[in-house]
Amino acid sequence: MNSQTSTFRMLIDGALVDGEQTMAVINPSTGQPFAHSPRASLRQMEQAINTASRSFPAWSRTTMQTRRALILRIADLIEEHCLELAHLLTQEQGKPLRDAQAEVQGTAAFFRYVAQCRIETQTLEESTTRHAYLQRQPLGVVAVITPWNFPLMLLAFKVPHALLAGNTVVIKPAATTPLTTLKLGELIVDALPAGVVNIVTDHNDLGDALSSHPQVAKISFTGSTATGYKVMANAAKSLKRLTLELGGNDPGIVLDDADPKQIAPGIVRAAFFNSGQACIALKRLYVPDSLYEALSHELWSHCQRLVLGDGLDSQTTLGPLQNQQQFQKVKSLLEDARQHGRVLSAGTVPEGAGYFLPPTLVLDIEDGTRLVDEEQFGPVLPVIRYSNVEQAIAMANRSPYGLGASVWASDLERARGVADQLQAGTVWINQHIDLGPHIPQCGSKQSGFGIELGAEGLLEFTQAKVININPGLGIAAQDPQKEHMNAEQTSN
Ligand code: NAD
């Protein structure tokens, strides 16, 4: 927080506004501030929630055609400004520019996909005695709260769905990566009616005010499990609808028929993508005795090909940790791991104050150590030896988390058998971190609940409502099969 001016502004009630204070945003590749962000006061947060609430009735009565067109317009604007957004994303988040571009393009693609989704009314019974239908209604104001690892992409898991369903939104990005979200606000300010999308940036101090506000009907939250507990407690006060996408400690199990050469590139990508700062990164790998040496050798050789550096450097394939706190946390886990395993770090660390950690394998380490048991969220992969597959499944399931998991094998039938026994929202086979806008994403155990993406994810932004008619009285109703929520008569 300081008195510097910010060239970025928040979006409240259809206007770009300054924060009552500003805060420095640090480039993790240099460890130095490179821009200033507005920092909202509690009053500004409340103003954003109030305006979203006031705008809800009119927005919820717009036709689906209108909403589709506006979501597509947002997708166009993101694409038109892809390079600018990607450059900013690399500076605030640290990821290599190529990955930042992919994130921006993915964000636009997810908006575009959602724009063509349908929300149907379901016929429950049409008999001479009863006509019953299940239709879907918007909820009201949705709080969209995002973390710092994929500031734009994770917003695209929530915002287009909320808007298509007829809700208004208040978006609150993480304090260390506010700028790309603010930039998006600047791009879309003239495209949407005032108050439908609001963007407020804080110093990690207004989350409680947003998630406990009585006018917020739903919270769509992505972040750590520790914060998830607080959000759930806040939501309970007024029984808000809630989707929690929380932390993970994804295991990968290699079966003894796998080919080390074939699977190593996919495993290294899954563990080191975004410098390991992905909720669904592969965070612990279980390898049978028979393949341990050969696979460790292959993994090491792929780690050595990663190039650590500033994401704006075209050679870089692995960026820094996003913030000082995360940097210190992963370093402390690595320090602890040195006492329990063989630590192999590849490449050279750039000089300077950036938050750089080299890609690291930790061999001969076991369950029960901090690095294996905690969510490490860094460019480090512990490789754990096992002697029978039941033991590996038990170790994989021992975690309180249950986000993703993967099985690596040649015999896909056998791999399916292991996948069936893993406690996770998604189990991949011979891959990890594969997502699509049509594929539901969900956590189990303490990785959260509720679903994002896919048809189920869209419905989470709606309230089910039953219409039950006695057809013996009155004149027949119109076609109930039409898309609900002020569907245009011609539909779509
Ligand atoms: P975090 O929980 O610290 O912060 C997430 C967001 O919550 C931020 O915007 C923060 O300002 C806000 N917040 C803080 N206190 C709040 C409160 N009391 N009420 C409401 N909001 C509050 O998480 P982070 O460190 O930014 O992100 C990393 C974590 O996110 C990791 O645990 C990672 O696994 C998780 N994550 C999960 C998914 C998923 O889909 N399951 C995806 C990405 C990241």
Indicate if ligand 1 lies below 6 Å from the C-beta of 230: yes
Nearest to 162 by CA among 198, 213, 203: 198
Dist. CA 147 → ligand 1 center (Å):
4
Dist. CA 55 → ligand 1 center (Å):
27
Helix (H) or strand (E) holding 169: strand 168-172
Indicate if ligand 1 lies below 6 Å from the C-beta of 151: no
Dist. CA 146 → ligand 1 center (Å):
6
Residue 302 has pLDDT above 90, yes or no: yes
Nearest-CA residue for atom 42 of ligand 1: 279
Q: Give the position of tokens 């512990």.
A: 382
Dist. CA 458 → ligand 1 center (Å):
21
Nearest-CA residue for atom 22 of ligand 1: 207
> Is 245 an active-site residue?
yes
Q: Is 57 helix (H, G, I), strand (E, B) or coil?
A: helix
Residue 208 has pLDDT above 90, yes or no: yes
State whether the Cα torsion 300-302-305-309 is positive or negative. Answer: negative
Q: What is the DSSP string of 413-434?
A: HHHHHHHHHS-SSEEEES--S-
Residues 86-138 have pLDDT tens digits of: 999 999 999 999 999 999 999 999 999 999 999 999 999 999 999 999 999 99
Residue 486 has pLDDT above 80, yes or no: no
Average pLDDT over residues 420-429: 98
Indicate if ligand 1 lies below 6 Å from the C-beta of 482: no
Q: What are phi and psi of 441, to 5 degrees?
A: -125, 130
The answer to whether 101 touches 83, Cβ cutoff 8 Å, is yes
Indicate if ligand 1 lies below 6 Å from the C-beta of 249: no
Residue 490 has pLDDT above 50, yes or no: no
Q: What is the DSSP string of 63-78?
A: -HHHHHHHHHHHHHHH
Indicate if ligand 1 lies below 6 Å from the C-beta of 445: no
Q: Is 167 helix (H, G, I), strand (E, B) or coil?
A: coil
Indicate if ligand 1 lies below 6 Å from the C-beta of 381: no
- Reported as a pLDDT band with limits 50, 70 and 90, residue 161 is very high
DSSP for residue 308: B
Pocket test for ligand 1, best of 176, 199, 218, 279 (most atoms within 8 A of CB): 279
Indicate if ligand 1 lies below 6 Å from the C-beta of 360: no
| pLDDT of the residue at 75 | 98
If one counts every other C-beta atom within 10 angstroms of the C-beta of residue 53, the result is 19
| pLDDT of the residue at 480 | 60
Whole-model pTM: value is 0.96
Pocket test for ligand 1, best of 227, 243, 245 (most atoms within 8 A of CB): 227
- Reported as a pLDDT band with limits 50, 70 and 90, residue 4 is confident
Residue 441 CA, closest ligand 1 atom number? 40
Nearest-CA residue for atom 17 of ligand 1: 207
Burial (CB count <10 Å: 0-12, 13-18, 19+), residue 413: exposed
- Reported as a pLDDT band with limits 50, 70 and 90, residue 71 is very high
If one counts every other C-beta atom within 10 angstroms of the C-beta of residue 438, the result is 12
Dist. CA 193 → ligand 1 center (Å):
29
Contacts of 103 (CB under 8 A, 6+ apart): 86, 89, 95, 150, 152, 153
Residues 348-404 have pLDDT tens digits of: 999 999 999 999 999 999 999 999 999 999 999 999 999 999 999 999 999 999 999
Dist. CA 123 → ligand 1 center (Å):
39
**Separation between Cα atoms, residue 79 and residue 68, nearest integer Å:** 17
| pLDDT of the residue at 6 | 81
Structure tokens at 349: 């660390």
Indicate if ligand 1 lies below 6 Å from the C-beta of 248: yes
- Reported as a pLDDT band with limits 50, 70 and 90, residue 478 is low
Residue 492 has pLDDT above 50, yes or no: no
Per the model's pLDDT, the better-predicted residue between 12 and 480 turns out to be 12
**Separation between Cα atoms, residue 358 and residue 380, nearest integer Å:** 8
If one counts every other C-beta atom within 10 angstroms of the C-beta of residue 265, the result is 13
Residue 482 has pLDDT above 90, yes or no: no
Q: What are phi and psi of 395, to 5 degrees?
A: -65, -40
Q: Is 397 helix (H, G, I), strand (E, B) or coil?
A: helix
DSSP for residue 165: T
Residue 210 CA, closest ligand 1 atom number? 20
Q: Is 132 helix (H, G, I), strand (E, B) or coil?
A: strand
Dist. CA 450 → ligand 1 center (Å):
16
Q: Is 449 helix (H, G, I), strand (E, B) or coil?
A: strand
Indicate if ligand 1 lies below 6 Å from the C-beta of 254: no
pLDDT > 90: what percent of the chain? 95
Pick the catalytic residue: 245, 452, 460, 483? Answer: 245
Burial (CB count <10 Å: 0-12, 13-18, 19+), residue 314: exposed
- Reported as a pLDDT band with limits 50, 70 and 90, residue 2 is low
Indicate if ligand 1 lies below 6 Å from the C-beta of 224: yes
Burial (CB count <10 Å: 0-12, 13-18, 19+), residue 427: buried
Nearest-CA residue for atom 39 of ligand 1: 245
Q: Is 457 helix (H, G, I), strand (E, B) or coil?
A: helix
pLDDT > 70: what percent of the chain? 96
Residues 224-278 have pLDDT tens digits of: 999 999 999 999 999 999 999 999 999 999 999 999 999 999 999 999 999 999 9
Residue 212 CA, closest ligand 1 atom number? 19
The answer to whether 292 touches 254, Cβ cutoff 8 Å, is no
Residue 467 has pLDDT above 60, yes or no: yes
Dist. CA 172 → ligand 1 center (Å):
11
Give me the chain's average pLDDT, please: 96
Indicate if ligand 1 lies below 6 Å from the C-beta of 149: yes
| pLDDT of the residue at 479 | 63
Residue 17 has pLDDT above 90, yes or no: yes
